[in-house]
Amino acid sequence: DFELVLARRGIRIPVGADQTAAQALLDHGIDIPLSCEQGVCGSCLLPVLEGIPEHRDVFLSAAERDCNRCFTPCCSRARTPSLLIDL
Ligand code: FES
């Protein structure tokens, strides 16, 4: 489990073990673009301001993964207790 912190909205959204980050956002009425939901297309890519994502997609390059500036909420999770997202 981890938490998404939405920097621009000032809200925290918990992501349970049984849901994706994208589902948690949608459940809270935060509309994000989604397409493949398998980490392939990059449609859902979100900017990360703080925290370390656990990248589970195949869209980002190795360099993009390593800089931890974005993540794909349809499948990726977090290595830190929370991710601060520019949303
Ligand atoms: Fe395609 Fe997330 S919806 S990578």
5-14 pLDDT, tens per residue? 999 999 999 9
Distance of CA 4 from the midpoint of ligand 1 (Å): 17
pLDDT of residue 49: 98
How much is the ipTM here?
Answer: 0.99
Atom of ligand 1 nearest to the CA of 44: 2
Q: Which residues' Cβ are closer than 6 Å to ligand 1?
A: 34-37, 39-44, 57, 59, 72, 74
For the stretch 23-66, pLDDT in tens is 999 999 999 999 999 999 999 999 999 999 999 999 999 999 99
62 CB burial (10 A radius; 0-12, 13-18, 19+): exposed
What pLDDT, on the 0 to 100 scale, is given for residue 86?
97
